[in-house]
Amino acid sequence: MTDEVSAVTEETEPPVLTAATVTLVEGRTFCVSGTSGGMEAEVPQGTFFRDVRVIPDWQIRVDGHRPHHLTVLSQDACSTTLVSLVPTHGAQSELLPERRRYVGEGMREDLRLRDLSTRLMRPDPA
């Protein structure tokens, strides 16, 4: 008789969704993101169609900054509005990105950037 010793392999735990996620579902499509609307490929987030992740990473930046979550205004199971603010250096933030997201046979997102300041903004010459 021979003794066989099984090799023990250490398994890592899969990433876990935190309470700070937003999930939209319509038919075979679903979308999981953070509360500011961003999706990161390293965690179980993204847009999935027929159990295949078709959008693993989805981020916006305003002037190089990622927006911070303010609120989520859910309309129904397949659409929501995510309202954020853009962090600024020392001053009160006056830019509010609004992301209106819909899922169906894919994902659609309408982005609206609201400027609450009273000063005149001019685009940078390119």
- 3-state SS, one letter per residue, for 14-51: CCCCCCCEEEEEECCEEEEEECCCCECCCCCCEEEECC
83 has pLDDT over 90: yes
Task: Specify the DSSP class assigned to residue 114.
Answer: E
Give every CB contact of residue 88 below 8 A, 6+ residues apart in sequence: 65, 94
pTM of this prediction?
A: 0.73
Instruction: Please write the tens of the pLDDT for every residue from 12-52.
Output: 555 555 558 999 999 999 999 999 899 999 989 999 999 89
Residue with tokens 């509005």: 81
Angle at 22 between CA 86 and CA 98, to 5 degrees: 35
Percent of the chain with pLDDT over 70: 75
Tokens of 66: 């990622």
SS3 helix, strand, coil % of the chain, rounded to 5? 0, 45, 55
Percent of the chain with pLDDT over 90: 48
6 has pLDDT over 60: no
124 has pLDDT over 80: no
Chain Cα centroid distance, residue 81: 12
pLDDT at 90: 59
Q: How many CA atoms lie within 13 A of 8 on its CB side?
A: 1
Sorting pLDDT into bands at 50, 70 and 90, what band is 59? very high
